[in-house]
Amino acid sequence: NEKLMWEALREAVDEEMERDPNVLVIGEDVGHYGGSYKVTYDLYKKYGEWRLLDTPICENSFMGMGVGAAMVGLRPIVEGMNMGFLLLAFNQISNNCGMLHYTSGGQFKVPMVVRGPGGVGRQLGAEHSQRLESYFQGIPGVQLVACSTVANSKSLLKSAIRSDNPVVFFEHVLLYNLKGETVDGDYCQPLEKAEIVREGTDCTILTYSRMRYTVLTAVQELEKKGVHPEVIDLISLKPFDMEAIAKSVKKTRRVIIVEECMKTGGIGASLSAVISESLFDDLDHEVMRLSSQDVPTAYAYDLEAATIVQPEQVAEAVGKICGLVPA
Amino acid sequence: GVATKPAETKSKKDAAKGGEAKGETLSPDVARDLYYDMYLGREFEEMCAQMYYRGKMFGFVHLYSGQEAVSTGAIRLLRPDDYVCSTYRDHVHALSKGVPAREVMAELFGKQTGVCRGQGGSMHMFSRKHNFLGGFAFIGEGIPVGLGAAFQTKYRREALQDESADQVTLSFFGDGTCNNGQFYECLNMAGLYKLPHIFMVENNKWAIGMYHDRATGPSFGDNVPNIYKKGEPFGMPGIHVDGMDVVKVREAVATAVARARRGDGPTLIECETYRFRGHSLADPDELRTKEEKERYAKRDPIPAFRKYVLDNKILMEAELKDIEQQVVECVEDSVQFAEASPKPEKGQLLENVFADPRGFGTAPDGGYRYEQAGFTSGTAQVS
């Protein structure tokens, strides 16, 4: 029962729309065109144009419209054709999605999902290669979730749609054609829980989204050398699953964070700080961070590759933190 | 820049059709309601100014005095299940929509009995019970939210085949907002999807210190900007109305509401009005001339309506006095209520951040954070 990630995401949307008539999709080219990465392909034929609402190009206004609709009972999934475009909707995501439940004293809920493709793709240029999780993480009242496998993309998106909280749901442009299996039945994965990708003993690697695969490539080589890192996919970028993280840190006493985010003000920066603050006595080594360089993402292939973390850098960092190579 | 009477247009003439016929006398009940609401708006805001200067409320407080005919004329016409979306100048819109004065005043005092439990403040009034959607402090951000409520009505009708879905949403905003992208984006979507949404422009001529004519260029062929003319390019009638005349506002809005309920889509209504105070209580208000202020003071909508109902023998002097007395008592009562109300407990700090508290995630020592000791007392670490 293998399928591609976009098909799994589409199944999640389809099943939730079938289950609840208040669920709808709002965004650019989500209807007739089927979504820029096919996540809503042909769904308008089944549910009609009102439930797959093709909008004009006006990110902050259709985002705000989603907020207003959510406040009065609908459950919109708002797609950013590219996550980067949602910079134009930052006000509505921050001030309205994030704060309105609180400022209204709990009277209004905003049960919406903001989702779309992000991350560094293949030579898409700086503006289409952004990691908005670093910008969104400071917003109170929203949850940030990054899917990474065919299975979790479906089961997390279903949970996000059912959540009464606003959820920003990150998909990665390079993972839509990933193959895998989904969990049978109406399975919803908890949004707040990390995934243990592989158990290990020598160090803990915390990662998310596409970097999961960069890490796993490195780990395959490390295995051959008899090194056994534990790999954890954060899944929840806000809040962090501190229960899972603490358990692993206490076991391995060494942490490497591998992310596609910028180093300054990114997810890793926050995660590193919180680990240092709350688990300092459990660490035998300072937290290491492998992040993207703080530069706009270049178009040229080699420069782009040099911007983001490569498997060799992960292997090298593991070697260092485990004392296998001179520091 | 002197306010010029806008040219008569086709869409303006439409204002007279439908709704309450022009010139038809108001019933005494409606007149009483309108007078009460306008008088309440004014007294409430003037009390706010006093309370602000006495240190009972803080932050940015934007008063509505002078613009009452717009709020009252429009909102008192609505059904309870219609929606209203406001701005930072929202106290009086909330009152007109039926939010009790006690709850608005208590919110301004930062008390737990406030309509938003003291978590919103002057610029963030919300009342779910009254379909009052906020309370938005940034320019233009409320329009898409209001549009979303209108979309929900359309969605229920079209996607869920709910024939009873005929609610109308009114979004209020000012002349300054009409240079913001969200205004145009929403005009386009409202027209495109034929949403039951009324764009209520309260053109009070000033965006803090920026005079309207200095911020907005006129349409081709005009000498002054006319916001109402921006409706037609987006497929909806644009209506200009004297925003200092509650009866005229009511007539214009009645036409627009009828149109929206019929399923014919949105309307843009520009109400020419004036705020009698500065932009906020922190504004020294040094730029508006004495002459301009005096000119509009003469058009104060409350005495004008008072005269109208007396001249037309709709209400008697004694009835008006009685209403005024009721309002004064209501506002006094709201202050006493706010004063006597308790401040929020610290335990309120972590409530209402997430509708589902699992949003706070898990803790290093296991379990969800919201299940931990200290969460309900507001002392737990949540990050």
B160 near A CB under 8 A = yes
Distance CA B232, CA B252 (A): 16
A96 near B CB under 8 A = yes
Q: How many CB atoms lie within 10 A of CB B289?
A: 8
Which residues make Cβ contacts (< 8 Å) with residue A100, sequence separation at least 6? A67, A71, A108, A110, A141, B126, B134
**Are residues A27 and A132 located together in one domain of the fold?**
yes
Q: What is the pLDDT of residues A128-186, one digit of tens each?
A: 999 999 999 999 999 999 999 999 999 999 999 999 999 999 999 999 999 999 999 99
Residue type, A109: K
pLDDT of residue B24: 63
pLDDT of residue A324: 83
Confidence of residue A15 (pLDDT cuts 50, 70, 90): very high
A196 near B CB under 8 A = no
Structural contact between residues A166 and A217, judged by C-beta atoms closer than 8 angstroms: no
**Are residues A211 and A143 located together in one domain of the fold?**
no
The β-bridge partners of B211 are B206
Q: Is the Cβ pair B189, A63 closer than 8 Å?
A: no
**Are residues A158 and A237 located together in one domain of the fold?**
no
Of A65, A109, A240, the CB nearest to B189: A65
| CA count, 13 A, side-chain hemisphere, A192 | 20
Of B217, B212, B209, nearest in space to B201 by CA: B212
Q: Is the Cβ pair A192, B83 closer than 8 Å?
A: no
* A168 within a domain of the structure (yes/no): yes
Q: Which helix (H) or strand (E) holds A79?
A: strand A75-79
Q: What is the pLDDT of residues A65-115, one digit of tens each?
A: 999 999 999 999 999 999 999 999 999 999 999 999 999 999 999 999 999
The string of DSSP letters for A109-162 reads ----EEEEEES--SS--STTS--THHHHTT-TT-EEEE--SHHHHHHHHHHHHH
Structural contact between residues B39 and B58, judged by C-beta atoms closer than 8 angstroms: no
pLDDT of residue B380: 87
Q: Residue B150: list chain A partners with CB under 8 A.
A: 68
Q: Is the pLDDT of residue A192 over 60?
A: yes
Helix (H) and strand (E) counts in chain B: 12, 7
Interface subset of A 35-54, CB within 8 angstroms of B: 47-48, 50-51
Q: Among residues A147, A181, A215, which one ends one of the domains?
A: A181
* A188 within a domain of the structure (yes/no): no
A56 near B CB under 8 A = yes
**Are residues A163 and A229 located together in one domain of the fold?**
no
Structural contact between residues B56 and B32, judged by C-beta atoms closer than 8 angstroms: no
Structural contact between residues B147 and B197, judged by C-beta atoms closer than 8 angstroms: yes
Of A210, A166, A155, nearest in space to A63 by CA: A166
How far does the CA of residue B8 sit from the closest CA of chain A (Å)?
A: 32
* A326 within a domain of the structure (yes/no): no
Q: Residue A238: list chain B partners with CB under 8 A.
A: 361
Of B191, B264, B270, nearest in space to B18 by CA: B264
B307 to B32, B68, B242, B316: CA distances (angstroms): 13, 16, 17, 10
The CA radius of gyration of chain B, in Å to the nearest whole number, is: 22
**DSSP reduced 3-state for B142:** helix
A94 near B CB under 8 A = no
pLDDT of residue B25: 75
Structural contact between residues A113 and A169, judged by C-beta atoms closer than 8 angstroms: yes
Q: Which CATH number characterizes residue A212's domain?
A: 3.40.50.920
Residue type, A314: V
Domains identified in chain A, total number: 2
**DSSP reduced 3-state for A205:** strand
Q: Is the Cβ pair A165, B141 closer than 8 Å?
A: no
B127 DSSP 8-state letter: B
Q: Which CATH number characterizes residue A24's domain?
A: 3.40.50.970
* Strands, sheet with A167-172, edge to edge from the N-terminal-most edge strand: A52-54, A23-27, A75-79, A113-118, A167-172, A143-146, A236-238
A297 DSSP 8-state letter: P
How far does the CA of residue A100 sit from the closest CA of chain B (Å)?
A: 9
**Are residues A90 and A140 located together in one domain of the fold?**
yes
Q: Is the Cβ pair B362, A244 closer than 8 Å?
A: yes
**Regions in chain B scoring below 50 on pLDDT:** 1-21
Of A64, A242, A246, the CB nearest to B361: A242
- A interface test, pick of B117, B133, B143, B155 with most A CB neighbours within 10 Å: B155
- A interface test, pick of B131, B183, B354, B371 with most A CB neighbours within 10 Å: B354
Q: Is the pLDDT of residue A217 over 50?
A: yes
Peptide bond into B238 cis (omega under 30): no
The alpha helices in chain A, defined as continuous H runs, are: 5-19, 43-47, 59-71, 90-91, 100-103, 133-136, 150-162, 211-224, 242-252, 267-278, 301-307, 311-321
Q: Are strands A229-233 and A195-198 parallel, antiparallel or unpaired?
A: antiparallel
What is the phi/psi pair of residue B236, to 5°?
-140, 155
- B interface test, pick of A24, A88, A96, A107 with most B CB neighbours within 10 Å: A107
* A224 within a domain of the structure (yes/no): yes
B366 near A CB under 8 A = yes
Distance CA A104, CA A84 (A): 29
The β-bridge partners of A24 are A76
Pairs of residues, one from chain A and one from chain B, whose beta carbons lie less than 8 Å apart = 201
Of A68, A236, A278, the CB nearest to B364: A278
B362 near A CB under 8 A = yes
Of A58, A179, A162, A169, nearest in space to A117 by CA: A169
Q: How many CB atoms lie within 10 A of CB A214?
A: 22
pLDDT of residue B15: 42
Helix axes B28-53, B68-75, angle to 10 degrees: 140
Q: Is the Cβ pair A242, B355 closer than 8 Å?
A: no
pLDDT of residue B23: 55
A281 near B CB under 8 A = no
Interface subset of B 162-181, CB within 8 angstroms of A: 181
Confidence of residue A196 (pLDDT cuts 50, 70, 90): very high
* A77 within a domain of the structure (yes/no): yes
Q: Domain map of chain B by residue range?
A: 10-343, 345-383
Q: Is the pLDDT of residue A270 over 80?
A: yes
Q: Among residues A130, A159, A181, which one ends one of the domains?
A: A181
* A132 within a domain of the structure (yes/no): yes
How far does the CA of residue A304 sit from the closest CA of chain B (Å)?
A: 33
Structural contact between residues B171 and B200, judged by C-beta atoms closer than 8 angstroms: yes
**Are residues A32 and A69 located together in one domain of the fold?**
yes
How far does the CA of residue B147 sit from the closest CA of chain A (Å)?
A: 6
* pTM for this predicted structure: 0.95
Helix (H) and strand (E) counts in chain A: 12, 14
| CA count, 13 A, side-chain hemisphere, A59 | 17
A95 DSSP 8-state letter: I
**Are residues A200 and A85 located together in one domain of the fold?**
no
Distance CA A239, CA B235 (A): 45
**Are residues A165 and A143 located together in one domain of the fold?**
yes
**DSSP reduced 3-state for A12:** helix
What is the phi/psi pair of residue B4, to 5°?
-105, 145
**Are residues A9 and A59 located together in one domain of the fold?**
yes
Of A140, A29, A103, nearest in space to B145 by CA: A103
Let me know if domain B10-343 sits in CATH 3.40.50.970.
yes
Q: Is the Cβ pair B148, A71 closer than 8 Å?
A: yes
Q: Is the pLDDT of residue A45 over 80?
A: yes
B134 near A CB under 8 A = yes
pLDDT of residue A326: 59
Of A6, A7, A12, nearest in space to A163 by CA: A12
Which residues make Cβ contacts (< 8 Å) with residue A323, sequence separation at least 6? none
Summary mean pLDDT of chain A: 97
Q: Which residues of A are catalytic?
A: 59, 128
Q: What is the pLDDT of residues B247-291, one digit of tens each?
A: 999 999 999 999 999 999 999 999 999 999 999 999 999 999 999
pLDDT of residue A253: 98
Of B131, B148, B358, the CB nearest to A65: B148
**Are residues A153 and A296 located together in one domain of the fold?**
no
**Are residues A305 and A239 located together in one domain of the fold?**
yes
**Are residues A51 and A175 located together in one domain of the fold?**
yes
Domain ranges, residue A313:
195-321
B143 near A CB under 8 A = yes
Q: How many CB atoms lie within 10 A of CB B139?
A: 20
Of A226, A303, A214, nearest in space to A256 by CA: A214
Counting every residue written for chain A, the total comes to 327
Of B89, B174, B166, B117, nearest in space to B140 by CA: B174
Q: Which helix (H) or strand (E) holds A25?
A: strand A23-27
* A190 within a domain of the structure (yes/no): no
Query: Residue A43 is encoded by which pair of tokens?
Result: 């769904």
The alpha helices in chain B, defined as continuous H runs, are: 10-14, 28-53, 68-75, 91-96, 101-108, 142-158, 181-193, 212-215, 246-262, 290-297, 301-311, 317-340
* A327 within a domain of the structure (yes/no): no
A102 near B CB under 8 A = yes
Q: Is the Cβ pair B148, A72 closer than 8 Å?
A: yes
Distance CA A266, CA A136 (A): 10
pLDDT of residue B381: 82
Q: Are strands B169-174 and A288-292 parallel, antiparallel or unpaired?
A: unpaired
The β-bridge partners of A160 are none
What is the separation of C-alpha B288 from the centre of its chain, rounded to a whole number of angstroms? Answer: 23
Q: Residue B117: list chain A partners with CB under 8 A.
A: 105-106
pLDDT of residue A1: 82
Q: Is the Cβ pair B138, A95 closer than 8 Å?
A: yes
